[in-house]
Amino acid sequence: MIAILDVCSGNLRSVERALAHVGADVVVTHDPEVVARADKLVVPGQGAFGPFMRGITERRLEAPLRAAIAKGTPYLGICLGLQVLFEHSEEGDVAGLGVLRGRVTKLAPTDKTLKIPHMGWNQVAQKLPVPGLATDAYVYFVHSYRVEPADPSVVALEATHGVTFCAGVRRDNVLAVQFHPEKSQGVGLALLRAFVEAA
């Protein structure tokens, strides 16, 4: 059973539908016990970092999330589900889970003609293999902040919007992406299917 973390995220239903579409047995939950015994975890996130992290804390999900990741439960983070893994976000000056070292900073292209939020389809280059994701695939992004991992070896994907930034990380059982696979048509569904079907 795959637990989708319910922290009032804007893309919660879209993620649920996309996972159901690729055949996943999912439960949408904010019950710490369900999170603790889930076979796999999906953490969607759309909105602002502060309220999202507060939602995790208020629902007492911080400890079960850390514990699940530590014991090897496959984790898929989407957008804020990526950012929240890091130690700190500039958005609202808030601490994250700190599962990965590094911080979340405002995406600030030097070319002022480039628009923020970075919204639309952009290509991702693979630094580490991401199951189900085609090389240089176009995926759908909506964000104004990006992660800066302290450890470059976790960077799995990179994209460029004025600056080249980390668009996905991979470490052991953790895979997390800045883009929205649930809105990336077949390319995104293939990534979700690979996560669902992985042993």
CB closer to other proteins out of 8 and 36: 8
| CA 76-164-136 angle, 5° bins | 60
Q: How far is the CB of 139 from other proteins (least distance, A)?
A: 9
- Would the CA dihedral through 47, 49, 51, 56 be positive or negative? positive
Query: Residue 81: CB partners within 8 Å, gap ≥ 6?
Result: 5, 42, 43, 44, 45, 176
Annotate 156-190 with three-state secondary structure: EEEEEECEEEEEEEEECCEEEECCCHHHCHHHHHH
Please report, as ranges, the residues that interact with other proteins according to CB under 8 A: 10, 13-14, 17-18, 21, 46-48, 112, 114-123, 138, 140-142, 160-161, 182-186, 188-189
Q: Cα–Cα distances in Å, from 39 out to 22, 35, 49, 65, 88?
A: 17, 9, 26, 13, 28
Q: How far is the CB of 189 from other proteins (least distance, A)?
A: 6
Q: How far is the CB of 35 from other proteins (least distance, A)?
A: 23
CB closer to other proteins out of 118 and 171: 118
Q: How far is the CB of 86 from other proteins (least distance, A)?
A: 20
**Catalytic center residues:** 79, 180, 182
CB closer to other proteins out of 30 and 171: 30
Bridge partners (DSSP) of residue 159 are 165
CB closer to other proteins out of 5 and 79: 79
CA dihedral 15, 17, 19, 21 (to 10 degrees): -150
